[in-house]
Amino acid sequence: MVTRRRFITASFQLALGLSLSAYLPPVRGKQLGTAPAAGSLEPNIYLKVLPNNEVHFWVKKAEMGQHVHTALTQIAMDELGADLKQVRVHMADTRSPFSNIFTGASWSIPGHWVPLRQLMANARFLLESAAAQIWQCPKEQCLAIAGEVVHQLGGQRLSFGELVSVARQLSAVDNAPLRPSKDYQYIGTNMGRLDTNQIVTGQAQYAADLSVDNMLCASIVHPPLPGYKLKGWDISRLKADPRLYKQVELVALENALAIVCQHQWPALVAKDKIDVVWESPTDTAVDDVWLQQQMEYALAQPGIVCRQQESVIQSSDAHTFSAEYYLPFVAHVPMEPPVALASVFENRAEVWAPTQTASQAQSEIAQFLNLDADNVVVHTTLIGGGFGRKLKNDFVMDAVRISQKLKRPIKLQWTRENDIKNGFLRPYGKDRVQVALDERGYPSNLDIKAASPSILAKTDHQHFKNGLDWSAVMGLRSIPYHVPNLRLSHQLIDLPQVNLVAWRGTFANHHCFAIESLMDELAYLARQDPLEYRLKLLQADTKVEHFLDSDIEIEHKKLKRVLTKVADMMQWKTRKQASQPGTGLGIACHCYDTHAYAAHIVEVEVAGQNIKVKKVACAFDVGVAINPDGVRAQLEGSIVFGLSSALYNEIHFENGAIRESNFHDHPVLRHHEMPEIDIHLFTDGDTPAGVGECGLPSVSPALTNAIFDASGIRVRSLPVKLV
């Protein structure tokens, strides 16, 4: 059977245009719609070497703080043998030959690892062969390194630029040998972002920084929830400010009202002086009570089984344990609220936006404007945080609609309030657990019934199989612990009234919280150490059928390794035996569907209802760390993200609208709350694993397990409430 790893690799090779079975011709009209530069070497669509020694490298993954442009450059230029000081990195736009520009699912690095290196090895072959032709020597005596090809016996050197004219005349190859890992110069090296200087000097441009000729600026008012229609508006408060009123033009859209001005600030101020009236699509007001009723109804249904072994638990079994674990709706709150600049012309459109899905945006715009996709260009700007929110292009389409109506370029700036109250959320979810225990306190029967809405139901039906949403059971069907009798099921909640999208770590957050909390509870009932209890249940590798003819494979030895390592980092056994009242340690682990393994220990102090997180340790198996410093940065960010969510974040619905609006009622961890962080990386694998998602799910259960250790209070519902 095709493994998930092989399936993903093959998919990326096709989707990225990195098919290794055929030569990729030189780029035509690469970025600017012009012919290839005279005398340049362009052996594939991602690379151009100029006679002046400049190396231009195009990437299709959006940079949103995860250092992906730097890491991909390290991979590519290490294989090519380039000098990074001579490399210029470009974000590809949606013009031919680039397609499927998408960033998400923690597959940017794993998916590029083999095909990108192969493309660059093929290019290096041309440069080394050119040098061999000039020197009249075997190619094996020539080695590309630091922007030159060096004769390994005679010591002669030729720069890449000097080799271009000969190399571009040579026949391409498809499967040149890859550089051995012992010769890596950049891979595995700590390296700051290549654009650090531009960022700290203000030269780097985010979408909010951009402007074009004849541009207008806009803000927008959205309905409380999807399905509402614009009915009317009252501008009496706006008219009370004549100077502001005369600057404003209102643009009515089907489901929004845009406020357009010459400059951005007046548009933002005017937005708060307009009272908009909406027509509700239903008599049922969405609120917290109604949503919990939908949850309970779903859990009362049989559900669809996603994994089953042997018999299932019976209600008459002795020594049973049951519990429910709940995660609420939360917002993504990236530091950069959505913003887009759109220019719609009669027969073409051009857009600049911090989108994670540029090619999808191109398709949506083309469909809306009834244009060929080739006549729509989407430029992906630097993204000030995405976390899944900017997988959706609602803000892009808003800008396009306004530009189409006014026939002017429009820069639309959402506010934080727009994004929290009217954007996309992480779904809520609940796992209902029943366990039967053997005489030693280990689970003999485990039944988990989960319920949640789908993040894919509206847009991505290909990822449903037998009525099951693959994303909704990530982290559930791949439970790594040995249980003889197992039944795992999921019930979808139909919830078109709320906009939902993936949130960093997707549903693995829900199920890891349930499973790792459960392991702690069962260890306590068995009067065993939570670490030792887990280790005894990690008896064999886990392999279960996944979707699209692939498998999920979890290596139990790797999970054991990160667990034991993080325990050593925190002196787990010694400190657990000497713990003081009000202090506690909690442990949890996780394997994400990108072959990464994480274990966390959180140390807390609890006094009454006050919780202080003192330290977080993380052991992480990344396989190959392209940029160890970048990996650590992502793991540190995951810890902040996880603690913020677990301690503070919850979206409430009242009278058909979202209550929360900004950081005052949907906060993130503040500087003074930041714990000490210790991270250890295992980097002895053959391939890199995804990092951005795997470092998050086990943070929350490690925290709540620590709270129980300190206070005796078991937290089964987030955010934490010690009442």
Residue 12 has pLDDT above 80, yes or no: no
- Provide, rounded to the nearest whole percent, the portion of the chain with pLDDT above 90: 87
Is 14 a domain residue?
A: no
- pLDDT score for 636: 98
Residues 144 and 241 in one domain: no
Residues 254 and 177 in one domain: no
Q: What's the angle, vertex CA 458, arms to CA 457 and CA 461, rounded to 5?
A: 55
Amino acid residing at 632: R
Residues 704 and 608 in one domain: yes
Is 69 a domain residue?
A: yes
Beta strands 304-309 and 249-253, pairing class: unpaired
Model pLDDT for residues 506-522, shown as the tens digit of each residue: 999 999 999 999 999 99
Is 23 a domain residue?
A: no
Sequential DSSP letters for 338-376: -EEEEEE-SS-EEEEE--S-HHHHHHHHHHHHT--GGGE
- Rg of the chain over all Cα atoms, to the nearest angstrom: 27
Helix then strand then coil, % of the chain, to nearest 5: 30, 25, 40
DSSP 382: B
Report d(CA 326, CA 38) in Å as an integer: 61
Residues 364 and 479 in one domain: no
What total number of domains does the chain contain? 3
Residues 621 and 704 in one domain: yes
Residue 590 has pLDDT above 60, yes or no: yes
Is 236 a domain residue?
A: yes
- Provide, rounded to the nearest whole percent, the portion of the chain with pLDDT above 70: 92
Q: What's the angle, vertex CA 215, arms to CA 271 and CA 259, rounded to 5?
A: 15
Amino acid residing at 432: R
Q: What's the angle, vertex CA 405, arms to CA 268 and CA 244, rounded to 5?
A: 30
The dihedral built from the CA positions of residue 468, 658, 420 and 255, taken in this order, carries a sign that is positive
Residues 57 and 138 in one domain: yes
**Which of the four pLDDT bands, split at 50, 70 and 90, describes residue 13?**
very low
Contact between 256 and 222 (Cβ < 8 Å): yes
Report d(CA 509, CA 513) in Å as an integer: 6
Residue 10 has pLDDT above 60, yes or no: no
Is 54 a domain residue?
A: yes
Report d(CA 139, CA 70) in Å as an integer: 30
Residue 11 has pLDDT above 80, yes or no: no
Is 696 a domain residue?
A: yes
DSSP 32: S
436 φ/ψ sector (left φ>0, alpha ψ -120 to 50, else beta): beta
Residue-averaged pLDDT of the chain: 92
Of 381, 413, 445, which closes a domain? 413
- pLDDT score for 584: 97
Report d(CA 533, CA 27) in Å as an integer: 57
Report d(CA 190, CA 420) in Å as an integer: 36
Residues 224 and 239 in one domain: yes
Residue 36 has pLDDT above 90, yes or no: no
Selected residue with higher pLDDT from 462 and 617? 617
Amino acid residing at 720: V
Query: HEC profile for 393-405?
Result: CHHHHHHHHHHHH
In Å, the largest CA–CA distance within the chain is 84
In the sheet with 304-309, reading across from the earlier edge strand, the strands are 304-309, 485-493, 443-453, 429-437, 320-327
Cis? peptide before 443, omega within 30° of 0: no
The model carries a pTM of: 0.93
Residues 308 and 353 in one domain: no
Contact between 559 and 480 (Cβ < 8 Å): yes
Residues 273 and 294 in one domain: no
- pLDDT score for 311: 63
Cis? peptide before 266, omega within 30° of 0: no
The strand pairing partners of 445, in sequence order, are 436, 485
Residues 240 and 166 in one domain: no
- pLDDT score for 520: 98
Contact between 589 and 577 (Cβ < 8 Å): no
- Average pLDDT (236-255) is 97
Residue 59 has pLDDT above 50, yes or no: yes
Of 200, 235, 257, which closes a domain? 200
Residue 634, domain CATH: 3.30.365.10
**Which of the four pLDDT bands, split at 50, 70 and 90, describes residue 374?**
very high
Of 75, 35, 38, 41, nearest in space to 55 by CA:
41
Amino acid residing at 453: P
Count CB neighbours of 689 within 10 A: 26
Q: How far is CA 453 from CA 105, 490, 499, 592, in A?
A: 19, 10, 10, 21
Is 418 a domain residue?
A: no
Element (H, E) at 566: helix 556-569
**Which of the four pLDDT bands, split at 50, 70 and 90, describes residue 9?**
very low
- pLDDT score for 583: 97
CA 10 to the chain's CA centroid: 21
Model pLDDT for residues 648-690, shown as the tens digit of each residue: 999 999 999 999 999 999 999 999 999 999 999 999 999 999 9
- pLDDT score for 312: 58
Strand segments, DSSP code E, in 494-568 are 542-545, 551-554
Residue 252 has pLDDT above 80, yes or no: yes
Q: Which two tokens stand for residue 216?
A: 């207008």
**Helix segments in 142-273, DSSP class H:** 160-167, 196-200, 236-239, 242-245, 264-271
Q: What's the angle, vertex CA 381, arms to CA 375 and CA 385, rounded to 5?
A: 135
Report d(CA 426, CA 650) in Å as an integer: 10
Q: How far is CA 509 from CA 82, 184, 296, 482, 618, in A?
A: 40, 35, 20, 21, 16
Of 107-121, 263-277, 481-495, 536-550, least confident by mean pLDDT is 536-550
Residues 348 and 309 in one domain: no
Model pLDDT for residues 360-372, shown as the tens digit of each residue: 999 999 999 999 9
Residues 377 and 409 in one domain: yes
259 — phi, psi (to 5°)?
-115, 115
- Average pLDDT (80-86) is 98
Selected residue with higher pLDDT from 319 and 283? 319
Contact between 608 and 495 (Cβ < 8 Å): no
- Average pLDDT (439-460) is 91
Is 285 a domain residue?
A: no
- pLDDT score for 124: 98
Residue 638 has pLDDT above 50, yes or no: yes
Amino acid residing at 549: D
**Which of the four pLDDT bands, split at 50, 70 and 90, describes residue 579?**
confident
Contact between 714 and 720 (Cβ < 8 Å): no
3-state secondary structure of 215: coil
| Side-chain-side CA neighbours of residue 5 (13 Å) | 15
| Domain range enclosing 627 | 290-328+424-711
Of 150, 166, 200, which closes a domain? 200
- pLDDT score for 6: 42
Q: Which two tokens stand for residue 324?
A: 């429910």
**Which of the four pLDDT bands, split at 50, 70 and 90, describes residue 460?**
low
Residue 279 has pLDDT above 50, yes or no: yes
Q: Which two tokens stand for residue 243?
A: 């100077």
572 — phi, psi (to 5°)?
-55, -55
Residue 113 has pLDDT above 90, yes or no: yes
- pLDDT score for 37: 54
Strand segments, DSSP code E, in 428-503 are 429-437, 443-453, 464-465, 468-469, 485-493
3-state secondary structure of 590: strand
Residue 23 has pLDDT above 70, yes or no: no
DSSP 64: S
Beta strands 55-59 and 47-49, pairing class: antiparallel
- pLDDT score for 19: 32
